[in-house]
Amino acid sequence: MTPAWPSELAMHECAKHAIANYFSSGQIVGLGSGSTMAAFVGQLTELPLKSSIRFITTSLQIEIEAEKAGLEITDVSKSKVVDIVFDGADQIDSNYNMIKGGGGALLNEKLLISAANKVVILADFTKYVERFTRSIPIEIHKSGRSIIQNKLEKLGGRAELRVSRNGYPYFTENGNLILDTLFSFIEDPIQMEVELKHIPGIFEVGLFSRGDVYYKIKKDGSFEVIQPGKG
């Protein structure tokens, strides 16, 4: 049977490197969502000094994984500053802008990243692209669905309401809808985020421009650590 990606061995090595370089006693650590983060959190069972480190999760999925790993969870409302955030990404372009929110936790992830002193992104090599090729998750108020969808289409986007496996509308843990919106070309992701968030009823946009350190997990299970702007 082919192992799920990222492989357990690859994530074990990433976690070992992250523990040695980015964890210390007394920290407040944020954890993003998605399959890569679930694999990463599962490797923190033997984290040294973990009893002194508090974790903030962005979804019930990761909260459950953190509980399994024996991590101490705290509430985001109790923390004004987060020492470091670990998260995944759906796509990362050549300028290290990201699309996130495939798992539906983009609002919570954006909030946590905004409070972080350092942001570490873990993603396999398939997520690294020259230009974005996938849709952007956009979290919206349910009452504005048709109005917002129309405005997105006028901006050149093809917006589709996210639905769950049973065909019903997908609701985020914050009780909002998601419009997965595909644009044929995004010249400036940062400016696009600003423009989209000016539309009333849009709570958050799955365009992210901040990562301080990137782990690129390669096909052979090894990884590369990238710090944009540093030699």
Residue-wise pLDDT tens digits, 194-228: 999 999 999 999 999 999 999 999 988 899 999 99
Q: CA 188, 87, 74 angle in degrees (round to 5)?
A: 130
Taken in order of first residue, the domains within the chain and their CATH numbers are 8-127+209-220 (3.40.50.1360), 136-206 (3.30.70.260)
| Total count of residues recorded for the chain | 231
Distance CA(84)–CA(187), nearest Å, equals 30
Q: Is 153 a catalytic residue?
A: no
Both tokens of 201, joined, read 């009823």
Q: CA 59, 211, 125 angle in degrees (round to 5)?
A: 85
C-beta neighbour count of 129 within 10 angstroms: 13
Residue 3 pLDDT level (bands cut at 50, 70, 90): very low
Average predicted confidence (pLDDT) for the chain: 93
The per-residue b/e assignment along 17-26, b for 16 or more CB within 10 angstroms, e otherwise, is ebbeeebeee
Averaged over 8-34, what is the pLDDT? 93
Spot the catalytic one: 63, 65, 72, 109: 109
The number of C-alpha atoms within 13 Å of 82 and in the hemisphere containing its C-beta is: 28
